[in-house]
Structure 1
Amino acid sequence: MTTTMPTFHPRTERRLAAAGRVHDLLRSAIMHGEIPSGVLPGELELMESFSASRQVIRGALEMLRQEGLVRRMQGSGTLVTSLRVTHDFDFLHGPAQEIAHKVLSVGQEIAPPSVARKLRIEDGGSCGIVELVTDLADTPLDTTTVYVKVDFLPTVLQFDPHDEWFSLYAKAGIELGVTDHAIEASVADPFNASLLGVDPGHPLLVLERLVHNTDGEPVEYAFTRIRGDRLTLRQSLSRVEPRTRSD
């Protein structure tokens, strides 16, 4: 199957590429809180800062507007309106911003085979299932399905919606160790779309995690479905390869 790439006039191609670069840099400044006033500089100042034409600047601002990151207010300029969370993947924690959880349901069922394998539950054994919705400033951020061992359910029933989810383990005297994460792109199904306030098919990031205690025993298997327009993932990486253990 042959894929046909779109073709543009060379001048248009240069303008679109330049607008994309300006968009990337402005978006990064918004995400890192580098615009403390919440108001972007005016078009003339942006044109000077980026050595770009008015068309390029307007194209970049339109991309930000389509993402829901900014809006134009008459007499006030272009305002940052982003409702996003920033999540650093350096240790296991919840979002840094003020959020609130809503527990939709807490139940117990026969563990599906894949869950039983992940949590090391014997065949035919039961698991706890918790369904959550997380809000950011009263706006839906994500939905989560958490599978836990049955003996952890009494602790779940003590969960304070304004606490971090992982604080439950400290309450239960469980010290958390390594967590395996997988991140995939997906889209919202009708049920989760209704919870997240988006249309079915809306872009999502799905975080699949398997949490272990310090003894290496699995304690939680979960899927978090996050609105793609609400999350920035950050991670610090080293070029230095970890040493392999010699026998």
Structure 2
Amino acid sequence: MEVCLFLIGESSHAHGVFDRSTISLLRSAAHDVEGLRRFVLHLPAVRDERTASGPFCVTQWYFDDLERLEAALQPGGVLQAAADGIAASMDNCTLFQQAMAVRKFSTPHPIDTREERCTYLVSYEGEADDFNAWLTHYLTHHPPLMTQLPGIRELEIYTRIDYRSALKHARATAMQRNKVVFDDVASLDAALASPVRARMKADFDSFPPYSGATPHYPMHSIYGNLTRE
């Protein structure tokens, strides 16, 4: 199963703007991370109440397996330099790391070679009373609804794993994360206003017991377009 490292930058500096030179450095660094299969950089797509308390950036680093990810997280590597660069890019920044297993689902209109999209990132920050029951219900019932969202390009669901890392940044502990991808903000807004969203809400209300925050953030996504043999 594919694994993904999330690096999540948060700052008390309201509506901070991510340095464009740092974007270029991250995209360049992605080409030098051994074993990296895919790279995505997410920045806030809008400036409103949905993003006021959200991360100023999220990066995703995909690997074929945990062994390759852990190798990339050893001291002195490109990933360590990239993480430190994110942390230094914004005043009062806290950088969080979390490695997660990736579950990828087919969508009616899969993503193509376009370099930029709009992504809705969701995280389940709390705990389910019975995680096995939660995940079984979620994976059985929710993705079939999510893939019906108009214009959806990509759907991934992530669950936490134990991993070794030399990065000194704080570890995030989200129980689960989701990603749904659309062409642009207008497409995302149309999907969120569709009848499918109401059916998703009804299913959400039937989930096994869970307590904790579930923040949702619309993000502008920039793809690394890596070429790997």
Normalised TM-score (structure 2)? 0.26
Higher relative contact order (CA closer than 8 Å, sequence separation 6+): 2
Larger Rg: 1
Normalised TM-score (structure 1)? 0.24
